[in-house]
Amino acid sequence: MDTHDPEEYLPVESAGNVAGIPPRTLRSWITAGKLPATEGPRGKLVRLGDVLAIAEATGRRPAHDRQPVGNAGMPAGFAGEAAGDVADVGAVAVSPTARAQLEAIRDEWLRPLTDRVEALARENGRLQAERDALRAELDRVRAEHEAAVARSDAPGAMETPATGQGARGALRWLWARLIGQE
């Protein structure tokens, strides 16, 4: 279903896309005088009706379900807003050889890469869960340690006969004894 007015002026590339004719061919027809064209802001513009007439006369089948790329022929203020600004990728005719090559690329390159990305995402999730569990364990151990330090610093807690001090004093005494500075 072609939604374009035959009186609409399009860039050579877009008109070729709609008519199913390579832009290079359209340019050679313009040079030879077979196709009238006007100068546009970014190159030659051709009337869609002229391109479709030449396509029909030369036996080329217009691709009616393709849309022009770009915003040529659009009323002022609509640039980038119309759905016709994007080419219908599904409408592109692909030869069986090219399709086989694309399928091979998909199967031999893309599928292994996507499988690897999925495996890495699962591994990342597992590692994040493990990290979170270890952080929770670390917080629990820190809380226990702080509670033990608070209990050991209480007056009279864990006094050693040698120092008469708490746990920290006992550790200092033990360290000094180990390094021989008693």
Q: What is the DSSP string of the chain?
A: -----TT-EEEHHHHHHHHT--HHHHHHHHHHTSS-EEEETTEEEEEHHHHHHHHHHTTPPP-TT---SSSTTPPTT-TTTSGGGS--GGG----HHHHHHHHHHIIIIIHHHHHHHHHHHHHHHHHHHHHHHHHHHHHHHHHHHHHHHHHHTSTTTT--TTT---HHHHHHHHHHHHTT--
Comparing 54-68, 81-95, 101-115, the range with the smallest average pLDDT is 81-95
Statement: residue 140 has pLDDT above 70 = yes
Q: What is the pLDDT of residue 123?
A: 94
Q: What is the pLDDT of residue 65?
A: 44
Mean pLDDT, rounded, of the chain: 75
